[in-house]
């Protein structure tokens, strides 16, 4: 469980380049398409072994339902990153407590870390420069959360000057 005190995580944020919103089971179609189109790109961005080529649509539906329940209970927070029209998933952002089974870093985080954040975008979005924009956005967004020692766990850092 993440310690948030009275802080209420936003369920939707719109920017000039994308929308970030709570990931829900109803997103299965666009989420599955996004994930399966970019398996190796996602692994390079966020680290870890997920996703795998044998991920089924049914598995994804289950995962998204679990993410939705965790969001509602405060155990973790998963967000879809979509285009402005909310018709295409471009990626995801995840806030997990250290030690959470879905955390791509496993147990490799500095002592005192109170949240592990990771993110990914599709190959198409990556090629269009969205990864760097999203990463920088998340760095700023983390300042609004009540965490004292957040860690973005992605091994791939943005290429911005």
Domains plus CATH for the chain?
12-152 (3.40.630.30)
Mean of pLDDT values over 64-77:
95
CA proximity to 153, closest of 106, 92, 90: 106
Q: Residue 64: its pLDDT value, please?
A: 97
CA proximity to 83, closest of 124, 50, 119: 124
Least confident among 63-67, 104-108, 138-142, 144-148: 104-108
- 3-state class of 161 per DSSP? coil
d(CA 142, CA 54): 33
**Structure token pair of residue 10:** 């936003």
Q: Is the pTM for the entire model greater than 0.75?
A: yes
Q: Residue 110: its pLDDT value, please?
A: 85
What's the chain's average pLDDT? Answer: 93
**Structure token pair of residue 66:** 């679990």
Q: Is the pLDDT of residue 49 over 70?
A: yes
Q: Residue 107: its pLDDT value, please?
A: 61
Mean of pLDDT values over 68-74:
95
The number of angstroms, rounded, from the C-alpha of 123 to the middle of its chain's C-alpha atoms is 15
Tell me the per-residue pLDDT of 100-135, one tens digit each, with 9 for 90 and over.
Answer: 766 665 567 788 899 999 999 999 999 999 999 999
Q: Residue 103: its pLDDT value, please?
A: 62
Q: Give yes or no for a contact between 95 and 117, defined as CB atoms under 8 angstroms apart.
A: yes
Q: Residue 48: its pLDDT value, please?
A: 87
- 3-state class of 104 per DSSP? coil
Q: Residue 39: its pLDDT value, please?
A: 98
CA proximity to 94, closest of 53, 50, 138, 36: 138
């Amino acid at each position: 469980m993440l310690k948030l005190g009275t802080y209420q995580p936003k369920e939707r944020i719109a920017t000039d380049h994308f929308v970030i919103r709570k990931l829900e089971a109803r997103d299965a179609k666009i989420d599955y398409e996004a994930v399966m189109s970019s398996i190796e790109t996602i692994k390079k961005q966020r680290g870890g072994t997920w996703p795998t080529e044998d991920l089924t649509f049914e598995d994804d539906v289950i995962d998204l339902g679990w993410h939705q329940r965790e969001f509602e209970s405060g155990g973790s927070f998963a967000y879809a990153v979509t285009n402005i029209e909310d018709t295409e998933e471009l990626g995801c952002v995840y806030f997990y407590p250290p030690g959470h089974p879905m955390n791509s870093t496993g147990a490799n985080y500095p002592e005192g870390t109170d949240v592990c954040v990771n993110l990914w975008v599709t190959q198409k979005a990556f090629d269009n420069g969205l990864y760097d924009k999203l990463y920088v956005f998340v760095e700023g967004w983390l300042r609004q959360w009540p965490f004292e020692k957040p860690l973005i766990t992605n091994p791939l850092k943005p290429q911005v000057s």
